[in-house]
């Protein structure tokens, strides 16, 4: 068994990673940290995790692999010793997602360890499976960006659309984490839908970076607008792009192309009806529904996932499996919850 540790288990992402590793057939979760709760039993902080029987520590014990659920900047600074030791490191923050230091610092500020950016792999297995398997440092993508990238990658790769793309995203409140904020109080968020980050969301450069790597110059121009909706978990992205004038494809051919693109991807399903967030709750699936609007010659693709699973800790464990040479779906085979 591989001994794994989670840094900052006291956030939603860390707790979800702990839940998944508890049922993992090849990985044993042996150490968890959380400075605000150090010394407490994990079951006292998260009763549903009581069967883990772990004490939350200030520092990790002896482990073979590290999962970090720290926020950006704090993650990179804390992970340097583990990276230098050559341990497999999965970072669920934004610290190693951007390939360029200047791009990171435009959105997040000064990077604590920019020397490691070039060696990190962006953790979408459907696009970077072999790179992840050969890496010791993987950056878990954002939840919005995962849904948008998976929804658009096949048509971008095939060169079927113009480079002007719109991605409209709806997210549940858990995506904001456990930190208190007026926007996320029940009385503020319930029965309300609100757009935010219209001047630019931090996951926008991830979308542009990953789609741009599939695209011949010039890079795509992406307008990304997220919306907060009154649900706990879930991401639903609807993306729009105009078909190129020389593109000739039917809806059936489009969906066949998507299914071929994701034929070896155990957690991406191309569906014939528009998906809903309840269909992905608690599971690691991303459901994708591509279609065409013949009146406007426009592609419309809906992609849907659980922000804490395929948009976070679930995809992270998927990457960790690849890093450790384990089956990609190990510990992730349970079905979603319904209703």
In angstroms, the CA 25 to CA 326 distance is 10
Calculate the alpha carbon distances from 41 to 63, 81, 167, 175, 313 in Å.
19, 26, 42, 25, 21
Calculate the alpha carbon distances from 246 to 30, 158, 220, 273 in Å.
56, 12, 18, 27
Phi, psi dihedral angles at 265 (to 5 degrees): -105, 110
In angstroms, the CA 43 to CA 45 distance is 5
Residue 148 in contact with residue 207, Cβ under 8 Å? yes
In angstroms, the CA 277 to CA 235 distance is 7
Report whether the peptide linkage leading into residue 339 is cis, meaning its omega lies within 30 degrees of zero.
yes
Active-site residue flag, 143: yes
In angstroms, the CA 193 to CA 173 distance is 11
Q: Tell me the pairing of strands 89-91 and 161-171.
A: unpaired
Q: Which one of the listed residues 143, 286, 304, 319 is annotated catalytic?
A: 143
In angstroms, the CA 164 to CA 154 distance is 16
Catalytic residue positions, numbered: 143
């Amino acid at each position: 068994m591989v001994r794994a540790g989670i840094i900052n288990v006291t956030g939603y992402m860390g707790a979800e990673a702990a839940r998944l590793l508890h049922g993992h057939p090849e990985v044993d979760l042996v150490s968890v940290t959380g400075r605000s709760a150090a010394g407490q039993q994990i079951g006292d902080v998260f009763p549903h995790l009581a069967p883990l029987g772990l004490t939350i520590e200030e520092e990790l014990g002896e482990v073979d692999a590290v999962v970090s659920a720290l926020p950006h900047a704090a993650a990179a600074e804390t992970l340097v010793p583990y990276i230098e030791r050559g341990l497999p490191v999965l970072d669920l923050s934004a610290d190693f997602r951007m390939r360029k230091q200047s791009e990171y610092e435009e959105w997040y500020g000064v990077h604590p360890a920019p020397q490691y950016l070039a060696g990190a792999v962006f953790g979408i297995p459907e696009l970077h499976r072999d790179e992840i398997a050969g890496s010791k440092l993987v950056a878990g993508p954002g939840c919005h960006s995962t849904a948008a990238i998976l929804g658009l990658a096949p048509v971008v790769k095939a060169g079927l659309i113009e480079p002007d793309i719109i991605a409209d995203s709806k997210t549940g409140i858990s995506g904001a984490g456990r930190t208190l904020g007026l926007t996320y109080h029940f009385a503020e968020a319930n029965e309300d839908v609100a757009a935010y980050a219209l001047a630019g969301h931090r996951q926008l450069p991830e979308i542009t970076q990953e789609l741009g790597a599939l695209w011949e110059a010039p890079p795509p121009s992406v307008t990304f607008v997220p919306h907060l909706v009154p649900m706990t978990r879930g991401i639903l992205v609807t993306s729009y792009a105009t078909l190129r004038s020389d593109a000739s494809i039917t809806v059936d051919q489009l969906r066949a192309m998507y299914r071929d693109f994701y034929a070896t991807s155990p957690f991406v399903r191309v569906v014939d009806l528009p998906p809903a967030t309840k269909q992905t709750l608690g599971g690691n699936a991303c459901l994708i529904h591509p279609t065409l609007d013949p009146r406007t010659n426009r592609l419309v693709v809906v992609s849907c996932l659980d922000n804490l699973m395929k948009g976070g800790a679930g995809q992270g464990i998927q990457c960790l499996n690849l890093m450790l040479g384990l089956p990609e779906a190990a510990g992730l085979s349970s079905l979603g919850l319904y209703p």
